[in-house]
Structures are given as structure tokens and as C-alpha cells.
């Protein structure tokens, strides 16, 4: 029996295992919404309040589950409103599939009402995109879109759907297999390269594992822990890699980079063997490039061959899926005298690392009286939840304090915009994570500036009774901007003071949520405990924190990792 394009799309989504769509209706996609109105299958639609929020929700859904998030929006401004969310997912290698409405094919290029060349606009920030011109190609394109989004190095894919394709009719035939000759990701590592890497590690005296978000994308956390334990190698992660290695493990040194720990940055500066796993040597990680890991031979494992030696030249490249390569490396580690000699040889390195940890710990002192320190709020969130929460963040100081003071023990529990640094990401991402994980505690650690960028999604959280918690570290400033102005612009606070802020308690209540406020240190635990009891709606916790507090350590732009500004 023939189906309309809209019916073929919905059936294709069901066949891909999709259970949730984050979307916002409009003229070009009304045929799809009409099918959804009559559809009774295992597919729900979450009505967002802005298309950017939809993509961030799908992103949060994807990061917290490993399954592609799905977005449906209309043409023109509906499509263009998704661009920031798509770019966010692209920079952080998140599998999201975005379906956009388009004017009928005969009108494309005629400046029709609500027309935008979304394929052209998003070409630089999608892994791939499609304009469907023929209904007979729709089923194949949908299947390809999901395959491309989730395989190899994951990323967002966009499918543009002209209205006449949605109303046309054809037989629905799901493709049996994917045949993409130009797209063949490499999963197995090269045997000789793996052998060389193991030999290099066993001949080193100061090894360090530097793990990134690729460990989480590849579901390789168990293998990474086994690898580090078997070779007794200290581990640091990027911002995106937090949770990929247990934050409470004795081998963990914390995050490295611009706001990394003293220990991690000094270890990377002094290592003689750096094992980069699923990471891309981002500028926030490396600092001054020609002084990054100056004594090290570098091994780099990544599924994306274009990431290897792009920023930093490496000695032993291994292209492949991180999980698969780590399994092969574990099998290649010898036992007996050679392994014993190696472990004996790195004992001095471990003593040095423990000394750095002892002399420069990452901690803060919260006075019993006086202003609340934002780091203290994060510490209390960790303590009162036992670390058992999915944490999202906005971008800025709140993001860095969350990364530094919440010890992430498991993968897919820290969702943040690392590559693009998108303010307004955290709250809708938390909604997406809560939809995907209804039984999990989800908390967005936010700033008073960034939370306002997608605050309209409070209505979404209230409508669907989602108990997302938002901890606003309210310092009345664009905090990270103010910090840079303080350190590098002689305290010229140009347009970084937010002035009159909304009453976040009243704002939460106006949407139908719950608002709580902590003005002094003694309020912090009370507010958190009260928020944790609420199970049927979102909660905004407004913590009035010290506006002068800065994020330390800090590596100034253009400086090497060992030139940190310390508290």
C-alpha cells in the first residue's frame, strides 16, 4: 500500500528505533504533524518553545544515552533557529538528526515565503546533509542519515523535506543495508602500530594518559580503566572526557588545560610518553603549542584520521575505534619481568604526582559567615547527591566549577558544550537528558546570564512534568567575561555587569515550576535538599554567590600549561 512522504518518514523513524522527537510545528511540516496526530505507535513528540532548544534537547538526549537525538522543525526561521544547536553538536561529535521543512521543490530558489537554504547554511557544521527531491529516495535517505550520524566519529545530520515530497505517495521499502562506498570508517587498529605503542609505553618512565570525549562516544570507559590499571598510568581527561575515567580513582589527576588542575598540567608538561585517546588537542587543552608536552613521544588513538597530527604532530598514530583499539592494546601488553620492570621504573613518577597533588590541591575554604562561594555550592551538590546525577552546564565560570568540583564517576553523566561554548545549552540539554532518563536525577549548573538564553523551555519542562533541577550560581555578572576583564583588561568591566536581574524564584513560579533561594551559607543545604524532594516539575535554585570569585588555576591565552595563574 502506498504511503505519503510524511507517513514514510514516521515509519522510517520507528524502524530506526526512535522513541522521541523534539520539535516545533509550522506550515511546511504540517503533513508530518497531521500524521503524528493520528499515530499511536511507540513515538512521542516533545513540544519545545524554541527550535534552538529542540536541538539542545536532542543533544542532551544523545549524550546521555548514546542514541541519536531527533529534531523536527519547519522551514525558514524554524530551520535557521537550529543552526547554533547543530554547530554545538558538530563541535562535540554528537549524533543528532534534524528534519527541517522546506517549501515545495518547484519554489526552491524563488525566495518563497519562509524559504531558507538550510542545506547550504549548515554544510560547514553538519557531518552530512540532504535535500530530498524525490519521495522514492526518502526511506533510503532517512536510513543513511541515522547510519552516518552514529557511526565513525558521530555528528549531526540534516534532512531537508520539501512540502510536496511530504504529500506525494509511494511504496515504503526500507533499505536492507547501507552501501556508502565513500564512507568506510576504520574500526580496527593497525597491529604494528599497536605493537610500537606498547613498546614505547614500556620503555617510558613518565607516562600519562590524556583521554577525551571519544572515550565516551565509543563506550570505552571500562577498557580505558583496565588499560590504565594494568599499566599503572596516571590519567587526565579533557572537559569532554570527564566521566570517561572515574573521578574518584587514585590514578585520576583531574582535568587538564586552561582551567585544569596543577597536577594534570604539570604531568603533561613533564611526561615522556603521552597517550592521547579519543581527543583532538584542542587549543584550550594544549596552551602554547610549541611548549606542549615538550619531552614526550606521543601516541594518538582516534577514529577520525583528520584529527591526527592536525594540531600536534604525533609519533605513533593509530586510526580506529577507541574501544576496539584499547582491547587490542590490552591483549598486546606482555606479562612477567618486562611489565614488572616497567612498573618499578615509574614509581618515582607516581611519587612526583602525589607531591604535586599534596602541594597544589584543588580545594576552597568556605567561611561559615559571609558570601557563598560558588565552588561550595557544587561541592554540596556532589555531597548531597552522592555524585549520582546527570550534570549539564551552561558555559563560563559555572561550567568550569562544575568540571573541577563535581567528581564524575561514570560516562554520560556530564553534558556540556565544549567545542562551541554555547551559552543557553545546559537547561534544554538537561530537559533532553531527563526525557531520556526519567528515573535519573538531572541537574543543570548554570550562570545567571546563560540561564536566561533559553529560559522559555521552563514551559516545556512544566508541561511534561520533568523534575529538572537548575542551580543558578548568581553572581550578577557575565562571570568569565568579568574575570578576563579583571586579569587582562585592567578591570575595565565593559558590559559584563548584568544589572537588574529577574527574580528567579518568581520567574520559576510564573511558569508553574518551583523557585528557591539561598542568600547565606546556611541556606545552601536546605535549598538543595528541598529541591531534591520535588519529583513532578522543574526547580530553579537561585544561589546568591560571591561576585568576585574567579576560576583558578588558569593558563592565560598563549602561555604554556606550566605557566598557571594560581589562587
Catalytic residues, by residue number, are: 51, 113-114, 163, 480
The Cα 38–Cα 270 span in angstroms is 63
The Cα 133–Cα 112 span in angstroms is 17
What are the φ/ψ torsions at residue 498 (nearest 5 degrees)? -80, -10
The Cα 102–Cα 473 span in angstroms is 41
Give the CA radius of gyration of the chain: 24
The Cα 427–Cα 461 span in angstroms is 10
Q: Helix 426-436 crosses helix 51-65 at what angle (to 10 degrees)?
A: 50
Residue 292, phi-psi category: left (phi > 0), alpha (psi -120 to 50), beta (remainder): beta
What are the φ/ψ torsions at residue 527 (nearest 5 degrees)? -65, -45
What are the φ/ψ torsions at residue 128 (nearest 5 degrees)? -165, 155
| 454 within 8 A of 495, measured Cβ to Cβ | no
The Cα 59–Cα 415 span in angstroms is 9
| 262 within 8 A of 242, measured Cβ to Cβ | no
Of 524, 423, 405, residue with least CA distance to 480: 423
**Residue 556 cell numbers, joined:** 592565560
The Cα 517–Cα 541 span in angstroms is 6
**Residue 201 cell numbers, joined:** 609505553
Amino acid at each position: 500500500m502506498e504511503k505519503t512522504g510524511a507517513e514514510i518518514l514516521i515509519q522510517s523513524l520507528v524502524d530506526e528505533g526512535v522513541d522521541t522527537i523534539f520539535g516545533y510545528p509550522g506550515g511546511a511540516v504540517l503533513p508530518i504533524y497531521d500524521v503524528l496526530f493520528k499515530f499511536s505507535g511507540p513515538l512521542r513528540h516533545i513540544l519545545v518553545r524554541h527550535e534552538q532548544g529542540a536541538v539542545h534537547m536532542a543533544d542532551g538526549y544523545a549524550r546521555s544515552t548514546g542514541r541519536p537525538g531527533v529534531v523536527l522543525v519547519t522551514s525558514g526561521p524554524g530551520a535557521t533557529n537550529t543552526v547554533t544547536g547543530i554547530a554545538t553538536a558538530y563541535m562535540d561529535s554528537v549524533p543528532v538528526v534534524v528534519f527541517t521543512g522546506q517549501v515545495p521543490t518547484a519554489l526552491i530558489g524563488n525566495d518563497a515565503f519562509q524559504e531558507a537554504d538550510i542545506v547550504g547554511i549548515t554544510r560547514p557544521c553538519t557531518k552530512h546533509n540532504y535535500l530530498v527531491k524525490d519521495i522514492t529516495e526518502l526511506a533510503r535517505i532517512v536510513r543513511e542519515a541515522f547510519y552516518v550520524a552514529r557511526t565513525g566519529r558521530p555528528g549531526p545530520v540534516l534532512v531537508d523535506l520539501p512540502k510536496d515530497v511530504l504529500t506525494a505517495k509511494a511504496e515504503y521499502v526500507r533499505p536492507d543495508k547501507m552501501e556508502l562506498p565513500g564512507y568506510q570508517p576504520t574500526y580496527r587498529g593497525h597491529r604494528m602500530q599497536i605493537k610500537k605503542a606498547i613498546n614505547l609505553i614500556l620503555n617510558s618512565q613518565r607516562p600519562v594518559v590524556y583521554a577525551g570525549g571519544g572515550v565516551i562516544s565509543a563506550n570505552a570507559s571500562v577498557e580505558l580503566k583496565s588499560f590504565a590499571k594494568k599499566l599503572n598510568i596516571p590519567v587526565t581527561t579533557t572537559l569532554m572526557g570527564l566521566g570517561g575515567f572515574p573521578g574518584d580513582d587514585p590514578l585520576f589527576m583531574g582535568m587538564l588545560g586552561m582551567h585544569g588542575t596543577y597536577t594534570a598540567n604539570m604531568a603533561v608538561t613533564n611526561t615522556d610518553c603521552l597517550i592521547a585517546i579519543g581527543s583532538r588537542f584542542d587549543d584550550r587543552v594544549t596552551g602554547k603549542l610549541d611548549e606542549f608536552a615538550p619531552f614526550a613521544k606521543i601516541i594518538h588513538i582516534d577514529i577520525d584520521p583528520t584529527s591526527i597530527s592536525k594540531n600536534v604532530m604525533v609519533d605513533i598514530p593509530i586510526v580506529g575505534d577507541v574501544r576496539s583499539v584499547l582491547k587490542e592494546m590490552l591483549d598486546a601488553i606482555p606479562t612477567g619481568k618486562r611489565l614488572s620492570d616497567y612498573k618499578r621504573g615509574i614509581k618515582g613518577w607516581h611519587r612526583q604526582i602525589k607531591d604535586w597533588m599534596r602541594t597544589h590541591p584543588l580545594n576552597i575554604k568556605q567561611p561559615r559567615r559571609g558570601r557563598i562561594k560558588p565552588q561550595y555550592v557544587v561541592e554540596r551538590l556532589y555531597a548531597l547527591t552522592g555524585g549520582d546525577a546527570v550534570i549539564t552546564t551552561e558555559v563560563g565560570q559555572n561550567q568550569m566549577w562544575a568540571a573541577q568540583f563535581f567528581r564524575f564517576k561514570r560516562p554520560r553523566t556530564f553534558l556540556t558544550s565544549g567545542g562551541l561554548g554555547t551559552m543557553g545549552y545546559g537547561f534544554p540539554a538537561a530537559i533532553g537528558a531527563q526525557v531520556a532518563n526519567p528515573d535519573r536525577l538531572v541537574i543543570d549548573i548554570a550562570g545567571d546570564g546563560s540561564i536566561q538564553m533559553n529560559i522559555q523551555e521552563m514551559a516545556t519542562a512544566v508541561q511534561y512534568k520533568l523534575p529538572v533541577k537548575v542551580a543558578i550560581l548568581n553572581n550578577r555578572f557575565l562571570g568569565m567575561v568579568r574575570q578576563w576583564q579583571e586579569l587582562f583588561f585592567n578591570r575595565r568591566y565593559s558590559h559584563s555587569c548584568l544589572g537588574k536581574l529577574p527574580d528567579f524564584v518568581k520567574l520559576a513560579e510564573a511558569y508553574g515550576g518551583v523557585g528557591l533561594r539561598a542568600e547565606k551559607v546556611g541556606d545552601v543545604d536546605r535549598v538543595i535538599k528541598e529541591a531534591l524532594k520535588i519529583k513532578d516539575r522543574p526547580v530553579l535554585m537561585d544561589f546568591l554567590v560571591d561576585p568576585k570569585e574567579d576560576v583558578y588555576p588558569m593558563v592565560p591565552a598563549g602561555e604554556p600549561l606550566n605557566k598557571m595563574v594560581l589562587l
